[in-house]
Amino acid sequence: MDRQKEEEDRNVMEAIVWLGENGFLDAPKKKSEEANNQASEMDGAKLDEPQAAGPEGAMPGQEADAAPITA
């Protein structure tokens, strides 16, 4: 039972790290920042390029894991 809990905790930590590395844990942008980004994008210069997720949005190392992540 202890081992299963440790494995679940490790999986959650890996998910949190992946979310952080891919920008999902960033603070929301302020209105003025969004306006500046839109103006820059109209000029053809993108300031924030979205990062592509792994195959079908899977976290690295989780492609074969069929167990859903629950919180």
Least confident of 3-7, 23-27, 36-40, 44-48: 44-48
Mean pLDDT, rounded, of the chain: 74
38-59: string of b/e by CB count within 10 Å (b at 16+)?
A: eeeeeeeeeeeeeeeeeeeeeb
State yes or no: pLDDT of 53 exceeds 60. Answer: no
CA-closest candidate to residue 62, choices 71, 52, 53: 53
With 0.85 as the threshold, say if the pTM is over it. no
63 in Cβ contact with 54 (< 8 Å): yes
Least confident of 2-6, 22-26, 32-36: 32-36
Using alpha carbons only, what angle is made at residue 17 by residues 71 and 66, rounded to the nearest 5 degrees?
A: 55
Residue 33 confidence class, pLDDT cut points 50, 70, 90: low
